[in-house]
Amino acid sequence: MLLAFVLAGPGLADWNPFSYRPLPNSLDMMEAGLYWLQDMSRPTEAGDPATLLGAAQELAARQFDFAEMAWYTAGFDYLRKDILARSHYQHRLQDRLFAELARSLGMYDSLPPDMRVLPPLSTGVGRGLISVLMLRRHRPPQRLDFHLRYGAQGWRIVDVGNNGLLFSAYLRQQGFR
């Protein structure tokens, strides 16, 4: 999201609160930034903003352990699936998680929230917790907790909590299969 603000240019610096033009929401600013990146990159690298957004989502997905997250969500039903079904399940889980994170991080709001990263906590051997406090105008504060595990691939996010409700528990309640 910080990249979207940097790429948005001077549009926010000269913002007048008494002007009558509406502010762009975060998605519009990200799209403008992606178009700018597309203009600055060679034509063979990125054909459209969806390609750049897909690449950014791929980079973010490397920080998550979707296999463990799928196990937390589906339990033994996940283990009974073959490798192709597990892969499809992980991709559906990834899409759902990133959609919920975009909503939670204020990507659809007209003004981005103020984010404050809280000090990381150790929750056990090879486990940790990083919390982000989201402050929005006219709304109660929201806390996002990123649960980490240290494994063979290094530190990976294994679950995300939203005001105390874990994403895997939320999907189990919704019957996500």
Which residue, among 74, 88, 47, 90, has the nearest Cα to 172 in the 3D structure?
Answer: 74
User: What tens digit of pLDDT does each residue of 98-153 get?
Assistant: 888 887 777 777 777 888 889 989 888 999 999 999 888 888 898 999 999 998 88
Share above pLDDT 90 across residues of the chain, in percent, rounded to a whole number: 13
Asked if 86 and 78 count as a contact pair (C-beta separation under 8 A), the reply is yes
**Distance between CA atoms of 111 and 164, rounded to whole angstroms?**
24
Domain range summary for the chain, segments of one domain joined by +: 23-62, 64-177
CATH number of 64-177: 3.10.450.710
Query: What number is the average pLDDT over the span 35-57?
Result: 62
Name the pTM for this structure.
0.67
Asked if 31 and 40 count as a contact pair (C-beta separation under 8 A), the reply is no
**Distance between CA atoms of 126 and 89, rounded to whole angstroms?**
26
pLDDT of residue 113: 80
